[in-house]
Structure 1
Amino acid sequence: MNDKHAAVVLDLSANGLGIIKRLAERNIEIYAFDTEKSYRIGKTKLATCSPCPSPLTEEKELLDVLITLGKKQKHKPVLYTGADDYVIFISKYRKELSNYFLFLFPDHDVIEQVLDKQRAYNLALKHNIPCPKTFIIKNEDDMKTAIETLEFPCILKPVLGHEFRKIINKKAILIQTAEQLQAEYPTYQQAGDLIVQEIIPGDNSCFYKVATFFDENMNLLAQFSLQKNHQFPAQFGTGAHIVSKTVPELFDICLPFFKAIHLKGVAMAEFKKDPRDGVYKFIEINPRFWLTHSLTGAAGIDFVYLYYLSMTEQQPIPHLVQKDGVKWIYLVRYYLTYLTKRKQEGMTLRDFLSGFKGEKEWALFSLRDPMPFVRSAYSHLVNAWKNKRKEK
């Protein structure tokens, strides 16, 4: 392997740390950046870490930081990210950054489409992909149509989740009644545009993800699918305990779709299987490495390494067959989800402990540097305690 190129990772969440861990196993030199709060929790001995300006509010300053680093490198570093803020930033300044870094993203208009939930749903429907009933409310008539069509409870989701969560740290808002929707929609709308959507029945295990890596010429270099077991928060959240699982039907849906929209680079789509009709229904697309991507390495398809090889023109062999049954566990989130489900859904301690059986990939823990795991667990537990006090 030619490892003369360093790697630069923009993101020190569990997502970015998963990228760093995989690269460190290959003894690749790594530089990692994130904004101050994320840097304090996620900084790791496995990389040269620094806080950086915000990609949302300090674009020019962040660009200067990266270009300064790039100019010091003998060979162009490979640029990675696991967060939408940085995806938008890199895409926006791709011309300037490509002079100093190696990376592969879809065209900017494709990125804007798939990160905008309203446009992404329209795109999916255009390609005959089933979706949950979804409404945009711009006036009283739209509100009336949504109320008459939807069954309650339903959910509010931000159109641009990465921007909405900077103001209101929620992935979705549960709406129990039509009266609540009418009362709360204007308040949440102040934080960003929203869609109103039906809730597809079924527990966390009905969620599936499909990931792909297409090269510049839309040749498929990697594919992977997984099933959620638990997520955090338990109702509307991100993965806490998942398992690698080949789902051919979803490859049949996603591969033609991604090719049609030229979704090159690394991307992931989420679906929920509707128990009412057995149909997989589209939830969202992320044009980047996703939270649980580190499972791919344990399951025999290392997206992080394949991306490095491809960007440095080392012609990786396509990896299209995965090992099923490998678990990915974000320990503190899995524990907090268990506490919630123990009360609401009857999840027992035995159920919780059985989740550790078999081959595993830990989301954060690394014997080479356990401190990001310790800091993240502490932060999650403190926040859970504060939220519990607020509820009293």
Structure 2
Amino acid sequence: MADQPATSTASGTSPAPAPEVDLVLLGGDIGIYALARAFHEQYGTVATVVTRKVAGPVGDSRILRTVELGMSAGEPEMLDALLRVGAEKSAARREGAPKPILLANADFLVLLLAQNRERLGEHFLLPLLADETLEAVADKASFTELCTEIGVPTPRTVVLDFTAGTAPEVPELDLGWPVVAKPSRSSAYTHVSFPGKRKVFEMHTRAQLEELVAKLAAAGFRDRFVVQEMVGGDDTAMRSVTAYVDSRGEVTLLGGAHVLLEEHTPGALGNPAAMVTTDLGEVLERSVRFLQHTGYRGYANFDVKVDPRDGVAKFFEVNPRIGRNNQYMTSAGANVAVPAVADLIEHRSLERMAPSREVLYSIVPWALLRRYLVEPELREWVNRVRKQCTVHPLAYRVEGPKRRAYVAAAKANQVKKFLQHYPRPTADGF
């Protein structure tokens, strides 16, 4: 069955009268387009996308208009552009109409919005965490501490602190080898550049880890890095959770997916490339416990992995944004635009929304995905769901032939990337 839009079926949503909804998005990736698509499906909104470059995911689209800043634009230029767009919309907005909702879908861009919430709040509605909460949950080291406080399992973790401006001493590790090393805050890592930079590192020896520490210090990294025990299992051991917490602290959107395949290019490692919506049971319950414990607000996206040693689902991180792969929720019957609009524009309570059907979310061709599903029962389940409903976030029926050609080319390019970076499944997903 081809990708079809799914209207939210959660009780508490009222399709008529439709609220007046405007949307501004900062960024230009697949996740940004999926957000624009969700708002367009539900409310007919034509979003304004502010981005450095109008690339494939947001190019030649009928559901959004773009403001291109140029690749040299930094955060001050982005802020200026948002304020300019906001002022234009404020001047044109009719009396009594709500402000536009402003969203970003990258950690450093969410931080930019939070740091300028007062100025941006003059023109926009901002579903953002409080500063202290954002600082705590977006840091993988403090995330681990918060999870420990409420009994949510996480991998064993050691923190390496670069804030003094020098390379920290690598302590004796009792995590086993290999270990996983990654920045504690991706927003602090975004602007650091060095040869061999990756989103996540697999370290097989102490010498490798010490070499990485030296590279980070030489590159001017001034934050924290976490070193964690390796949780085995390939990409199919991963789980994804998407949620929204409204202004009253109620979790009004909650759903999850069984990840099947992640991207493996250095800069995108860990981004889901394919997954199936499913009820994650206790994983969802623990996600709610974390959100309520921390006083969370707005969108959240958890990365979780089931440890094959004990079957325990271990929480890796929470992204303070909806996540690149948010289309799986909308296509499964829980349109991600609805809770934000109910909260920020309609100011009404909403019964918790959840996916109502199984869908296969995939940005890769089935022939490629199938080769990474080595477990027969899993492959059969996914194939059955695939035939019922397969969704690609960029394959939206209202778009024209240029978009359809781009989606086909993007799928072909995924084949090339996987053959280069991850030609066959491995036991640990690296």
**TM-score of the two chains, using structure 1 as the length reference:** 0.85
- Quote the residue 1:307 is aligned against: 340
- Quote the residue 1:257 is aligned against: 290
Shift of 1:384: 7.9
Q: Kindly tell me: are residues 115 and 210 of structure 1, through their superposed partners in 2, closer, same or farther at Cα, counting changes over 3 Å?
A: same
- Quote the residue 1:77 is aligned against: 100
For residues 108-158 of structure 1, give each alpha carbon's deviation from its aligned partner in whole angstroms, at most 9, with x where no partner exists: 121122222222222222333221121123599952312xx1222222201
Say which of 180, 186, 189 aligns to 1:155.
180
Q: 1:106, 1:390 → 2: CA distance?
A: 36
- CA root-mean-square deviation: 3.3
For residues 16-66 of structure 1, give each alpha carbon's deviation from its aligned partner in whole angstroms, at most 9, with x where no partner exists: 100111222231232111112x54652222111111374635354234333
- Conserved 8 A contact 1:156-1:196: yes
Instruction: Provide the secondary structure at the position in 2 that maps to 1:86.
Output: helix
1:185 paired with 2:201, answer: no
Q: 1:389, 1:298 → 2: CA distance?
A: 30
- Quote the residue 1:68 is aligned against: 87
- Quote the residue 1:172 is aligned against: 200
Q: Kindly tell me: are residues 50 and 63 of structure 1, through their superposed partners in 2, closer, same or farther at Cα, counting changes over 3 Å?
A: closer
Amino acid at match of 2:21: H
Matches within 5 A, 1:179-328: 179-189=207-217, 190=219, 192=221, 193-233=224-264, 236-313=269-346, 315=348, 317-328=350-361
**After alignment, is 90-99 or 231-240 more displaced?**
231-240
Amino acid at match of 2:291: F
**After alignment, is 266-275 or 303-312 more displaced?**
303-312
- Conserved 8 A contact 2:246-2:252: yes
Shift of 1:221: 1.4
Matches within 5 A, 1:76-155: 76-138=99-161, 142-146=169-173, 149-155=174-180
- Conserved 8 A contact 2:51-2:69: yes
Q: Kindly tell me: are residues 377 and 140 of structure 1, through their superposed partners in 2, closer, same or farther at Cα, counting changes over 3 Å?
A: same
- Conserved 8 A contact 1:331-1:363: no
Q: Kindly tell me: are residues 324 and 352 of structure 1, through their superposed partners in 2, closer, same or farther at Cα, counting changes over 3 Å?
A: closer
Q: Kindly tell me: are residues 367 and 387 of structure 1, through their superposed partners in 2, closer, same or farther at Cα, counting changes over 3 Å?
A: closer
- Conserved 8 A contact 1:42-1:375: no
- Conserved 8 A contact 1:55-1:85: no
Q: 1:183, 1:346 → 2: CA distance?
A: 37
Matches within 5 A, 1:341-380: 341=372, 354=383, 356-369=386-399, 371=402, 374-375=405-406, 378=409
Q: 1:161, 1:363 → 2: CA distance?
A: 24
Shift of 1:234: 8.0
Shift of 1:385: 5.9
Q: Kindly tell me: are residues 271 and 363 of structure 1, through their superposed partners in 2, closer, same or farther at Cα, counting changes over 3 Å?
A: same
**TM-score of the two chains, using structure 2 as the length reference:** 0.78
- Conserved 8 A contact 1:231-1:239: yes
Q: Kindly tell me: are residues 158 and 57 of structure 1, through their superposed partners in 2, closer, same or farther at Cα, counting changes over 3 Å?
A: farther
Instruction: Provide the secondary structure at the position in 2 that maps to 1:143.
Output: coil
Q: Kindly tell me: are residues 268 and 60 of structure 1, through their superposed partners in 2, closer, same or farther at Cα, counting changes over 3 Å?
A: closer
* Number of aligned residue pairs: 382
Say which of 58, 61, 73 aligns to 1:42.
58
Q: 2:189, 2:412 → 1: CA distance?
A: 24
Shift of 1:261: 0.7
Q: 1:275, 1:63 → 2: CA distance?
A: 46
Q: Kindly tell me: are residues 335 and 374 of structure 1, through their superposed partners in 2, closer, same or farther at Cα, counting changes over 3 Å?
A: farther
Q: 2:382, 2:323 → 1: CA distance?
A: 26
Instruction: Provide the secondary structure at the position in 2 that maps to 1:31.
Output: strand
Q: 2:354, 2:184 → 1: CA distance?
A: 34
- Conserved 8 A contact 1:70-1:101: no
Shift of 1:71: 2.5
Q: Kindly tell me: are residues 55 and 379 of structure 1, through their superposed partners in 2, closer, same or farther at Cα, counting changes over 3 Å?
A: farther
Instruction: Provide the secondary structure at the position in 2 that maps to 1:229.
Output: strand
Q: Kindly tell me: are residues 73 and 360 of structure 1, through their superposed partners in 2, closer, same or farther at Cα, counting changes over 3 Å?
A: farther
Amino acid at match of 1:326: V
Aligned residues with identical type, % of pairs:
18
For residues 294-329 of structure 1, give each alpha carbon's deviation from its aligned partner in whole angstroms, at most 9, with x where no partner exists: 111222211223312322116363234432421111
Unpaired runs of 5+ in structure 1? Answer: none
- Conserved 8 A contact 2:364-2:415: no
Larger RCO: 1 or 2 (CA < 8 Å, sep 6+): 2
Q: Kindly tell me: are residues 265 and 288 of structure 1, through their superposed partners in 2, closer, same or farther at Cα, counting changes over 3 Å?
A: same
Q: Kindly tell me: are residues 373 and 106 of structure 1, through their superposed partners in 2, closer, same or farther at Cα, counting changes over 3 Å?
A: farther
Instruction: Provide the secondary structure at the position in 1 that maps to 2:154.
Output: coil
Amino acid at match of 2:363: Y
Amino acid at match of 1:170: R
Shift of 1:224: 0.9
